Amino acid sequence: MPQNITIQQDLNRGNELSSFLQRNHITFTGDVVLRYSGLDKSWKSQHHFVGIGKNNVEENWTLIFELRCLSESSFTWQYSVSLRKRNMRTDEDFDTKILCGISANSSCFNGAFALRIDFDTRSGTATAGEQSYKVTTQTFFDEIGVFKDWTKNPVFKTVFNPVSIPAESVRYDISSIFPTEYLV
């Protein structure tokens, strides 16, 4: 089971989020690393941005990407993207959420995880790029309007790849380069 999964996503193109990031000189690339948490048995990445919104009002943005295996016996994955924009003057908040249930032909933790999800923001439907995966459920809610201007290409794409991290690191004894009086 990989400890980290990198996703490549295109959320940051031509929308209110990208305008906010540009206005505040904030960089958010398409590559996001999800880290595994044994507490809730999921891979997650959270990003928090504070800056000036389009009406010269301070805004807070929170982005959460999450992937989890819901059922090892039925080989079901859940992928979610959650965005929250909060107006700090009025304390109003707005949400955008994408949720996909994905069934696989093999165990969630078989070590060969690679997946692509294409989510059509016009129809609210998702497809998995690989034959061994099938999207079984999808939910889409865009109160912020992040996807409202995606008319030419309404598909939000996410590609998942496990990041291989060696189980053990090679260790070298470097004590010989330090004076003996400083060794404990």
For residue 88, what pLDDT is reported?
94
Decide if pLDDT at 112 tops 70.
no
Reported confidence tier of residue 170, pLDDT bands at 50, 70, 90: low
Q: What is the predicted pLDDT for the residue at 123?
A: 87
> Identity (one letter) of the amino acid at 6?
T
| Number of residues that make up the chain | 184
- Where is pLDDT greater, at 94 or 5? 94
Does this model's pTM top 0.85? My answer is no
Cβ contact 141:154 at 8 Å: no
Task: Write out pLDDT tens, residues 42-76.
Answer: 999 999 999 999 889 999 999 999 998 886 666 78
Q: Which amino acid is at 96?
A: T
Q: How confident is the model at residue 166 (pLDDT cuts 50, 70, 90)?
A: very low
Find which of 45-59, 91-105, 108-122 is predicted with most confidence, using mean pLDDT. Answer: 45-59
157: closest CA among 148, 149, 147, 142? 147
Q: Is residue 10 classed exposed, middle or buried when 0-12, 13-18 and 19+ CB atoms within 10 A define those classes?
A: middle
